[in-house]
Amino acid sequence: MKNLLILLASVFTFSLAILAGEPSIWSINSRDDVIKGDAKGVSISHNGTIALAPQLSELFNTEQPFVWSSTIDTAGNIYLGTGGDGKLFKVDANGKSSLFYDADELNVSALAIGKDGTVYAGTSPDGKVYRVSKNGNASVYFEPKEKYIWSLAVTSDGSLAVGTGETGKIYKVKSANAKPAEALLFDTSETHIISLAADAKGNLYAGTDSDGLVLRFNARGKPFALLDSSLREIHEIALGVDGSVYALALSESASSKDKKIEPKKDEKKTVSIGKKTGIPIPTPKKSRYDLTAAKSAVYRILPDGGNDIIWKSDEITAFSVYAHLTGNGVLIGTSDKGRIYSVRNTGEVTLTLQTDEEQVSTIFTSGTKLFATSSNQGKLFNFGGGSLTEGVFESPVLDAKSVASWGSIWWRSNGNVQIQTRSGNTDSPNETWADWSGSYKDSRGERITSPRAQFLQWRAILKSSDQRSSVSEVNVSFLPRNIPPEVLSIEVLPTNVGLTPNPPVPVDPNIATLGLDPADFGMVIPPPIPRKVFQSGAKSLSWKAEDRNGDQLKYSIYYREVSNPKFRLLESDLDRPFFTIDGLALADGRYIFKVVADDSPSNAEAQALKGERTSEPFDIDNTAPVVTPVGTPQINGDSVRIVFDSTEASSLIKRAEYAVNGGAWKTIFADDGISDGPKERYTIRVTIKEPGEYSVTLRVFDTSGNAGTGRMLVKK
């Protein structure tokens, strides 16, 4: 630790650049952090540990964009149904591949193997079910006159179950050329029967779109709803060895898009680290049972009829699910960089491996061998059977928000692990970035050799060794270049509005002294929003400022008359973004405020920077309008007419009101219809029936809130 402290001290001593005052630490030490990176030949456990992934071998490239369906027979022959040209491929047990059948339809969307080894292929659109012999000769086995054949399954009695769309019918076909009406098992109220699965007990399971149902049909064909998902589609069903039924549910129906998967756009994963300018309230993690924004979810329907959600994602669309032979969970194939995740029944998620393709469309097994197919490009893979000998994990990209000087990198690992870094000034690594550094040797901390830049990335190279190679944590310290603070806006409030601070949240002084984060102690410090109060003659301003380094700011306030170019200091060392002055202390005139933000509380004096902004011009008007009687009262019977003139020197007249003998004030309009000028005339007409002396008072207000009065006596 002593060596590390010395290293950090040397790293953060610079003379060529103005740097922010305190270093920041970027830590990658949890699954949520690690999963944002790129896993090439490595797996990521539920707690974020990076280790070598299972072996992954490409067996066959169909050179078709999509593999929609797959199956394997007892001899180890694998059949792949593709989309685009409707081709069916065969890969035998020795790895030899061939085009097995070329359908007239666009997609081979479903496959099944009969008890006698016959291959059944369902096609779409305007689908048919073909029976394909061992030599690749095909004949129409069943033609239900439906738009889509989505799913096939062979039941325990050897019949072929067929799931269709767009009318949501399920057929059970016992022989070739069966009539649809005779083969109809059930006509649901759903749009599509997307998935089918059959068990050895004679049960048939069906997943639907658009209500997301899982239906179970017993051997007599009686349906029973096992699940009504809040998601739209049950895309695939997998049967567990313990009797559990796993259902992969999607929020957006793939079938509604003719099962067309759009190529996934490259995502730029960056993380930003900076000092805190307030105490953020962390967004609570959603429960896996909260599906309000979910794209995909996996249900586990228990043998007793209960159900559980073992996985869900708001970001990832899954396309395949396979039940572990251990009965302890599933494998999920996704569109997330062609990743396969292992999910335990308890909800623990491990990234098992990542392919180079866009989506993993199916997962299936033969004995202990695991296979997967992909789309964009349509390929067949074999995985498992030991770990790779080498793998690379590339971290998400750190955005330091400005050009930064890199400090030290330190990590926790086991086995044969190498850590390297690279840096650049574009948000995604490309040819303009610096090359990868050499491997750092000391896991306790080494100075980063990558050049100063705004963005940084590290990678871990894992190689097999006697000790299981793994990485559980990587930390990077860095010091961004100090950037001047910005005053984004200034608001000058109306006259007579004062601003006063709300009572501060008490903080243990030891927390501040030790430089600790109050949020670590459950303290949420709100921003200093002032209260507005009435204050005669007050002139208040508030402003918004920010510092990209997250530095603490202090403020100085200046003012000047519009006609005078020299600013005068009103107040300095303010720690809150608002200020009130006594406007009565200033002469009438037009003024401008200037706010200067200073980041010196977080920086050494020589490195501190400032930013400023001036306000729009505003008026100080402390002089009331002058109200002058015009002539004498004009009395005509009970009617009295009185005239006043009002003038305003600094601003404009806003409104007027009058009262008789100190009575209630009544609004009066200027003779020209509106009070809006520097000079206005007001004619008051009152009714006076009784003889006597009456006092008529006119009160006039200007736009600054000043009030002037005039009075005229009336004798009747």
pLDDT reading at 283 higher than 70: no
For residues 152 and 530, the model is more confident at 152
User: For residue 188, what pLDDT band results from cuts at 50, 70 and 90?
Assistant: very high
SS3 call for 33: helix
Model pLDDT, residue 626: 96
User: DSSP alpha helices (H): ranges in 392-501?
Assistant: none
Cα(26)–Cα(474) distance, rounded to whole angstroms?
A: 8
| pLDDT mean over 228-244 | 96
User: For residue 679, what pLDDT band results from cuts at 50, 70 and 90?
Assistant: very high
Model pLDDT, residue 513: 72
Is 621 in contact with 588 (CB distance < 8 Å)?
yes
Model pLDDT, residue 506: 73
Cα(231)–Cα(292) distance, rounded to whole angstroms?
A: 9
- When the pLDDT of each residue in the chain is averaged and rounded to a whole number, the result is 90
Model pLDDT, residue 467: 80
656 closest CA partner among 679, 633, 640: 679
pLDDT reading at 124 higher than 80: yes
Instruction: Summarize pLDDT for 480-493 with one digit per residue, the tens.
Output: 888 899 999 999 99
580 closest CA partner among 501, 487, 488, 485: 501
| pLDDT mean over 676-705 | 93
Q: Which of 112-121, 178-187, 262-271, 361-370 has the lowest mean pLDDT?
A: 262-271
Dihedral of the CA atoms 325, 53, 429, 35 (nearest 10)?
Answer: 50
Compute the Cα dihedral for 296, 297, 298, 302 and give only its sign.
negative
| pLDDT mean over 494-499 | 91
- Give the contacts of 49 (CB within 8 A, at least 6 positions apart): 470, 471, 472
pLDDT reading at 15 higher than 70: no
User: DSSP alpha helices (H): ranges in 146-235?
Assistant: 180-183
Cα(91)–Cα(657) distance, rounded to whole angstroms?
A: 97
Cα(75)–Cα(58) distance, rounded to whole angstroms?
A: 20
Instruction: Summarize pLDDT for 612-633 with one digit per residue, the tens.
Output: 999 999 999 999 999 999 999 9
196 token code pair? 């089918």
Is 244 in contact with 324 (CB distance < 8 Å)?
no
Model pLDDT, residue 549: 83
Share of the chain above pLDDT 90, in %: 77
Model pLDDT, residue 527: 66
Cα(282)–Cα(276) distance, rounded to whole angstroms?
A: 13
Dihedral of the CA atoms 154, 155, 158, 159 (nearest 10)?
Answer: -80
pLDDT reading at 387 higher than 80: yes
| pLDDT mean over 284-304 | 88
Is 220 in contact with 201 (CB distance < 8 Å)?
no
∠ at Cα 418 (441, 432), nearest 5°? 105
Residue 660 forms beta bridges with which residues?
696
Model pLDDT, residue 131: 96
Q: Which of 251-255, 278-282, 465-469, 627-631 has the lowest mean pLDDT?
A: 278-282
pLDDT reading at 6 higher than 50: no
Question: β-pairing, 359-366 with 369-375?
Answer: antiparallel
pLDDT reading at 10 higher than 50: no
Q: What is the reported pTM?
A: 0.74
User: For residue 272, what pLDDT band results from cuts at 50, 70 and 90?
Assistant: low
Cα(205)–Cα(428) distance, rounded to whole angstroms?
A: 46
pLDDT reading at 418 higher than 90: yes
Compute CA distances 232 → 163, 287, 294, 467, whole Å: 17, 20, 11, 46
| pLDDT mean over 65-83 | 96
Is 526 in contact with 505 (CB distance < 8 Å)?
yes
Model pLDDT, residue 273: 58
Is 23 in contact with 15 (CB distance < 8 Å)?
no
**Residue-range domains of the chain with CATH:** 62-259+297-316 (2.120.10.30), 486-620 (2.60.40.10), 626-715 (2.60.40.650)
Q: 576: left (phi > 0), else alpha (psi -120 to 50), else beta?
A: beta
259 closest CA partner among 138, 137, 118, 105: 105
State which of 176-190, 422-436, 461-475 shows the largest mean pLDDT.
422-436
DSSP state of 19: B
Cα(328)–Cα(305) distance, rounded to whole angstroms?
A: 18
Q: Which of 190-194, 276-280, 558-562 has the lowest mean pLDDT?
A: 276-280
701 token code pair? 């207000």
Burial class of residue 552 in the structure, from the number of CB atoms within 10 Å of its CB (0-12 exposed, 13-18 middle, 19+ buried): middle
DSSP state of 9: H
